[in-house]
Amino acid sequence: MAFNKGDKTDASKIRRGGMRRRKKVCVFCGEKNGEIDYKDTNKLKRYVSERGKILPRRITGNCAKHQRALTVAIKRARHLSLMPYVCE
């Protein structure tokens, strides 16, 4: 029997070790004070890689709304030189 792309089972969700991958939840949706501020560089640094790139949603687990706001805040902080464009 040939494998078809449409015949996906739960195998994609289960890893080799038998453990299921946990669904990531948006941190900002869960917080009571979930504001994204460009001046809060300590919070923004968690969403930037060691090379200075903004981490994608699939890694951070943010929802689309907060990922867009996070991207704008990081770019704004870089423009005002609160954060570096490239980390060394």
Cβ contact 21:13 at 8 Å: yes
- Give the pLDDT of residue 31: 76
> Domains of the chain, with CATH numbers?
25-78 (4.10.640.10)
pLDDT at 9: 60
**What pLDDT sits at residue 5?**
66
First to last CA, the chain: 51
Q: Is the pLDDT of residue 66 over 60?
A: yes
Find out whether 48 and 18 touch, Cβ atoms under 8 Å: no
Q: What pLDDT digit, counting tens, does each position of 6-60 carry?
A: 665 655 555 566 677 777 888 888 877 778 999 999 999 999 999 999 999 999 9
Q: For residue 55, with 0-12 CB atoms within 10 Å meaning exposed, 13-18 middle and 19 or more buried, which class applies? A: middle
Q: How many Å apart are CA 86 and CA 18, to the nearest integer? A: 39
Q: What is the mean pLDDT of residues 50-75?
A: 94
